[in-house]
Amino acid sequence: MQIASLTIDRIREGLLSRQFSAVELTEEALRFAEGENPRTGAYLRLSPERALDAARRVDERMARGEDPGPLAGVPVAVKDVILTKGITTTCGSKLLAGYVPPYDATAVVRVEEAGGIILGKTNCDEFAMGSSTENSAFGPVRNPVAPDRVPGGSSGGSAAAVAQGTAVVALGSDTGGSIRQPASFCGVVGVTPTYGRVSRYGLTAFASSLDHIGPFARTVKDAATLLRAIAGRDPRDSTSAGAPVPDYAALFGGGLKGLKLGLPREYLKDLGSEVGDLISRGVDVLIRLGCEVREMSLPSTGYAIPCYYIIATAEASSNLARYDGVRYTFRSAKSETLSDMYRNTRGEGFGAECKRRIMLGTYVLSAGYYDAYYLKAQKVRTLIARDFARAFEEVDAIVAPVSPFPAFKLGEKMDDPLAMYLSDIYTITGSLAGIPCMSVPCGRTAGGLPVGMQLLTTHFGEPAMFRLAGAFEEAGGLN
């Protein structure tokens, strides 16, 4: 069994035809992950006991003649900002190095209910803040395609595990691009669903109005299958949407004739030649498949970066206030007074990027600056959301780059935080509007680095998005 290239369907076939049991597959997956992980560092820890328990339950269900579930036997990697009961969950931070959650995230529960196997927890930028996974307190992750380069971030570990084959699918989180960008850098599929499509219960909060949990996979169909399993209303997350969850994977096929695609001129103007060329060739494939493509405008694009970074850091400064040495494992030894405890715990525990964002967020919310920055940014957010709403009256989906460049070298961009922020330009807009978006592999640069093409559509438009991506993939992408 070629473990590194398994799909959900192939696993199901293998289980139902008794080629292997879930336990056998899980044992093999654990062995393979153990052996291959040092190459990239994608996983922070494997969870063999939990994985084998879940595998045994799948085998038992099958023995009883029951359907083992849509994710039966599928090894799933989970980003370490997503809580897993009884399995250490660090959020990539010293502050939570020894934290063992007393409950599971809803998405994790649903993966297991669907028969999925939680194989382990993947490395990420600290508290999901970053675009390279270099901000993890536990070391960076290496891109499996090019080991001297980053996998992207903040869900770098999840993307790398799927690309490397040490997971079949993975859960990541996306606030400003943290699923789409690593998917692009590692050459896998990454989906950021509509805001509220997947419950955030058990996702360590970074920016509550922007956070999403979403799937990574090697195929569009597998991403769609995983999304369906985890999506849907959760009474534990009051922002989770009640809209029914379609059977995304079943809606594939049907051709793209007449589908109208928009190309935002603001996204294309500063695009570097290699990425621009690959996206352009991707668009050509979509045209060949029957889509009508037209140029369009998202006029507020130029204000998206300041808008995003004000809102995201403001919300983050609030969400990260809870890490104060009282409840969650780490407390500074220099804690004579309560005030010392708070300040020293946080001063010693947070990495530089988290501190920077907390400072920025605190500043924009502070008295005298709130109106000029935070309130202003929220109004600009409305304009950005309106841009998309207007666009989707004219087109069915938007095609865009994910990142201005492919995977950069480890250490290359650590000195210029603002430059890092500016590179998020293509992904933060979708996050601000709460619309679904995804990255699908779209060829490689001359140097062999993967580049992803982004598809965006209207709220709850995942079916159309998957249809587009699925057809693109079936046509062979750029091959």
Q: How far is the CB of 340 from other proteins (least distance, A)?
A: 7
Q: How far is the CB of 103 from other proteins (least distance, A)?
A: 7
Maximum Cα–Cα distance across the chain? 69
Element containing residue 170 per DSSP (H, E)? strand 169-174
CB closer to other proteins out of 119 and 316: 316
Q: Tokens for 338, please give them.
A: 């309560």
Q: How far is the CB of 122 from other proteins (least distance, A)?
A: 21
Q: How far is the CB of 387 from other proteins (least distance, A)?
A: 12
- Rounded to whole angstroms, the Cα distance separating 97 from 417 reads 25
CB closer to other proteins out of 282 and 349: 349
Of 198, 190, 98, 187, give the one whose Cα is nearest residue 149.
187
Strand order in the sheet with 292-296: 43-46, 117-122, 75-79, 169-174, 212-217, 189-192, 437-444, 450-457, 397-401, 260-264, 292-296
Of 399, 462, 394, 397, give the one whose Cα is nearest residue 264.
399
Residue written as tokens 């899980």?
26
CB closer to other proteins out of 360 and 451: 360
CB closer to other proteins out of 257 and 327: 327
Q: Tokens for 422, please give them.
A: 């500016």
CB closer to other proteins out of 233 and 281: 233
Q: How far is the CB of 120 from other proteins (least distance, A)?
A: 20
DSSP sequence for 75-99: EEEEETTB-BTTB---TT-GGGTT-
Cβ neighbors of 445 (< 8 A, separation 6 or more) are: 274, 275, 278, 406, 451
With the CA atoms of 54, 175, 301 and 358 taken in that order, what torsion angle do they form, in degrees rounded to the nearest 10? -170
* Adjacent-strand bridge partners of 118: 76
CB closer to other proteins out of 177 and 434: 434
CB 54 within 8 A of CB 29: no
Strand, coil or helix: what is 398?
A: strand
Element containing residue 204 per DSSP (H, E)? none
> Which ranges of 96-172 does DSSP label H, i.e. alpha helix?
106-113, 156-164
Residue 251 DSSP label: G
Cβ neighbors of 476 (< 8 A, separation 6 or more) are: none
CB closer to other proteins out of 131 and 158: 131
Q: How far is the CB of 442 from other proteins (least distance, A)?
A: 28
Q: How far is the CB of 471 from other proteins (least distance, A)?
A: 28
Catalytic residues: 79, 154, 178
Of 407, 433, 380, 440, give the one whose Cα is nearest residue 212.
433
Helix axis angle, 48-63 relative to 8-16, nearest 10°? 50
CB closer to other proteins out of 358 and 455: 358
Q: How far is the CB of 270 from other proteins (least distance, A)?
A: 15
